[in-house]
Amino acid sequence: MTPTESHRDDVGAKIGMWLFIFTELLLFGGLFIVYAVYRYKNPVAFHFAAEELNRGMGILNTILLLISSATVAMSLTAVQLNERGKSLILISITLMLGVLFLVNKYIEWGDKWGHGIYPGSEKLLELGHGEVLFFGLYFAMTGLHALHIVIGLLILTIALFRVKRNRITSSDYVLLENGGLYWHMVDIVWIFLFPLFYLIV
């Protein structure tokens, strides 16, 4: 065996992805701890601040992400069944739903910005400490989550081109599978963010 000869280990690659997902969950875990502490300390302020958020938008985004998780899973099955065209369509739908999520998020953030509510804004500082912390956490956590959506979209875009060029096939699909796993992780983080910010009021 020459040193340049590469070895392929799909199981290893998948273990690697799962380990990376652990680290991502712990990264968000740090913020969830902070959220828990400050919610416990400022229950009333968190209650009123949460009512300011647009619940309809939150529900819509949740639905978008749930569907996109389904479509990315289906695209993998399509690749495994050698149905390349179907897989391409499903990945594209996933990408589109992810972009729609970001658009909604942009509208939501922009709306808050328009009302003068953003980190360090004068209006926010006039409100109580609880509100400052709630919106601080809201922007930080949804912002970090949005960043992960962008990373997920990049991975899936690469997967899309690889499927198109026949580099991801029914016998070699670990990149798409890992991309899908990452996307599910992004999804499940949102599943926790959504009730914490929009539903518990």
What is the Cα–Cα distance from 80 to 88, expressed in whole angstroms? Answer: 13
* CA-to-CA dists, residue 94 to 3, 73, 147, 193, angstroms: 38, 10, 16, 20
Beta-carbon count within 10 A of 36 CB: 11
CB of 90 to another protein, least distance (A): 28
CB of 176 to another protein, least distance (A): 18
Q: CB neighbours of 200 closer than 8 A, spacing ≥ 6?
A: 46, 50
Q: Which is nearer to another protein, 8 or 165 (CB)?
A: 8
Match 């949005």 to its residue by tokens. Answer: 146
Closest CA to 137 of 21, 55, 36, 27: 36
What is the Cα–Cα distance from 98 to 21, expressed in whole angstroms? Answer: 19
Q: Which is nearer to another protein, 90 or 133 (CB)?
A: 133
142, 186 contact by CB (below 8 A): no
What is the Cα–Cα distance from 57 to 198, expressed in whole angstroms? Answer: 10
Question: Is residue 111 near another protein by the rule CB under 8 A?
Answer: no
Question: Is residue 146 near another protein by the rule CB under 8 A?
Answer: no
Cα-flanking dihedrals φ and ψ of residue 169, to 5°?
-130, 180
- Considering only residues 48, 109, 139, 194, which one is a binding residue for another protein as defined by CB under 8 A? 139
Q: Which of residues 64-103 bind another protein (CB under 8 A)?
A: none
- Considering only residues 47, 54, 73, 136, which one is a binding residue for another protein as defined by CB under 8 A? 136
Question: Is residue 110 near another protein by the rule CB under 8 A?
Answer: no
Q: Which of residues 163-182 bind another protein (CB under 8 A)?
A: none
Question: Is residue 9 near another protein by the rule CB under 8 A?
Answer: yes
Q: How many residues of this chain bind another protein (CB under 8 A)?
A: 41
CB of 124 to another protein, least distance (A): 9
CB of 64 to another protein, least distance (A): 26
Positions that interact with another protein (CB under 8 A):
1-4, 7, 9, 11-13, 15-16, 19-20, 22-24, 26-31, 33-34, 37-38, 41-42, 119-120, 125, 128-130, 132-133, 136-137, 139-140, 144
